[in-house]
């Protein structure tokens, strides 16, 4: 239960970050005047203030008066923000953005955003002043990260390591004593062949042992194992069931790679791109399969804003499925007779007029909110898990296009 709640708030956090990043990506400065600062959790806030003060005085040398003023204003507003923090930034650090962004027609407006506690710790301090904000490091953090075990081998050499998100981490290597195909004089051909097979078998066992030691303790977190090497080595290795059976079950692909040193681990990841992309949407695919099964089989599924909202309020939704590409607002209306009604509209559009469908009188707007945040907060109150579904596969696209990006898998049928 507590993990569910943690997941919900983690998803929500990620969503909030993604939204701010999308907003920031749109902005442009008329000169190099947009400032971004990444502050790692172990960096003293006073150090950062000193750095910003230094940049502020150096900015006095900027030739264009307008750019100079804008950069200094941005730095001042960053310094103001930094006053809210104690000695160290909050968990995982802070990212600050500030600058005068173009609003068209030569006009600018000052934008300042601070993002606290990103999903992963910020690794290093970065000061960036350019015509756009630096959002890439944050975007990489938000990308769904997998954990994969990597094995590359031929009959002479093997390397094992991890793929963590986008980072390849070599861990162990081994080399074999398998003799070449050429036998020495005096040995019988039969005996030579037998010894050679034994040596190969021993080496495969050694490699499997190395992989087991590394991967088995993490077998519940691992998203899959990738194996690379020339043919037929990798096939012999896999077909011979050398790996611990729980690892054997999660081998998601074998690939031809020519090198079996550390660079082979990188080659393996390059060759496995398609499989890795599939793995990333696999969980989303499973959610959508279940949704369609329930939708066709019975009544334990719902979709569209209003039915999903009603089910959420009843507490009947087990999982709320929201399309990652959903970009809409909900406008809440109330008529003089207190009938509450909702309209979901494109984020860029103005509030439409609304007539109460119950009594026909004109309704007043009560509030307008991002539809995802609106639904997620009901979900959190009712103990419903929220899942974001990518549009990178057919059924995910269908959720977005045919179901308005909103659906739910129900705990029981409600007839709504």
Q: How far is the CB of 350 from Zn ion (least distance, A)?
A: 22
Q: How far is the CB of 307 from Zn ion (least distance, A)?
A: 20
Of 386, 228, 403, the closest CA to residue 307 belongs to 403
Q: How far is the CB of 404 from Zn ion (least distance, A)?
A: 24
Q: How far is the CB of 355 from Zn ion (least distance, A)?
A: 9
Query: Do the Cβ atoms of 159 and 262 come closer than 8 Å?
Result: yes
Nearer to Zn ion, 211 or 335 (CB): 335
Interface residues with Zn ion (CB under 5 A)? 335, 337, 339, 356, 358-359
Q: How far is the CB of 342 from Zn ion (least distance, A)?
A: 13
Nearer to Zn ion, 344 or 356 (CB): 356
Nearer to Zn ion, 358 or 401 (CB): 358
Q: How many CB atoms lie within 10 A of CB 340?
A: 12
Q: Which two tokens stand for residue 327?
A: 């970009």
Nearer to Zn ion, 197 or 359 (CB): 359
Query: Do the Cβ atoms of 256 and 230 come closer than 8 Å?
Result: yes
Q: How far is the CB of 416 from Zn ion (least distance, A)?
A: 20
- C-alpha distances in Å from residue 278, one per residue of 243, 253, 272, 275, 321: 24, 11, 10, 5, 19
Q: How far is the CB of 354 from Zn ion (least distance, A)?
A: 10
Query: Nearest 5 degrees, angle CA 44-CA 69-CA 30?
Result: 100
């Amino acid at each position: 239960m507590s993990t569910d709640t943690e997941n919900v708030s983690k998803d929500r956090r990620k969503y909030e970050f993604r939204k701010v990043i999308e907003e920031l990506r749109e902005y442009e400065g008329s000169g190099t005047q947009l400032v971004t600062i990444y502050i790692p959790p172990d960096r003293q806030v006073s150090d950062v203030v000193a750095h910003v003060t230094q940049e502020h005085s150096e900015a006095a040398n900027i030739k264009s008066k307008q750019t100079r003023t804008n950069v200094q204003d941005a730095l001042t507003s960053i310094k103001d923000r930094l006053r809210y923090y104690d000695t160290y930034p909050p968990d995982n650090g802070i990212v600050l953005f500030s600058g005068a962004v173009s609003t068209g027609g030569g006009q600018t407006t000052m934008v300042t955003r601070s993002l606290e506690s990103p999903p992963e710790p910020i690794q290093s301090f970065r000061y960036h002043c350019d015509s756009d904000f630096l959002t890439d490091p944050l975007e990489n953090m938000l990308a769904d990260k997998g954990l994969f075990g990597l094995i590359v081998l031929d009959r002479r050499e093997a390397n094992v390591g991890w793929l963590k998100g986008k980072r390849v981490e070599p861990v162990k290597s081994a080399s074999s004593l398998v003799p070449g195909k050429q036998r020495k004089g005096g040995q019988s051909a039969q005996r030579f062949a037998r010894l050679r097979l034994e040596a190969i078998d021993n080496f495969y066992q050694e490699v499997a042992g190395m992989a087991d030691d590394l991967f088995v303790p993490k077998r519940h977190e691992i998203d899959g194992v990738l194996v690379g090497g020339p043919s037929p080595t990798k096939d012999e290795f896999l077909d011979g069931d050398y790996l611990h059976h729980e690892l054997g079950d999660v081998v998601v692909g074998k690939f031809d790679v020519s090198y079996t040193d550390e660079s082979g681990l990188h080659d393996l990841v390059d060759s496995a791109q398609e499989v890795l992309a599939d793995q990333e949407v696999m969980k989303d695919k499973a959610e959508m399969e279940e949704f369609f099964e329930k939708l066709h089989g019975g009544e334990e599924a719902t979709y569209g804003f209003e039915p999903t909202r009603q089910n959420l309020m009843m507490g009947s939704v087990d999982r709320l499925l929201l399309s990652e590409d959903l970009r809409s607002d909900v406008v809440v209306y109330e008529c003089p007779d207190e009938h509450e009604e909702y309209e979901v509209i494109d984020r860029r559009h103005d509030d439409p007029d609304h007539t109460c469908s119950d009594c026909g009188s004109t309704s007043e707007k009560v509030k307008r909110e991002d539809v995802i945040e609106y639904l997620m907060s009901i979900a959190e109150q009712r103990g419903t898990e929220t899942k974001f579904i990518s549009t990178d596969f057919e059924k995910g696209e269908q959720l977005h296009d045919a179901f308005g990006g909103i659906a739910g898998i129900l705990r029981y049928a409600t007839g709504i």
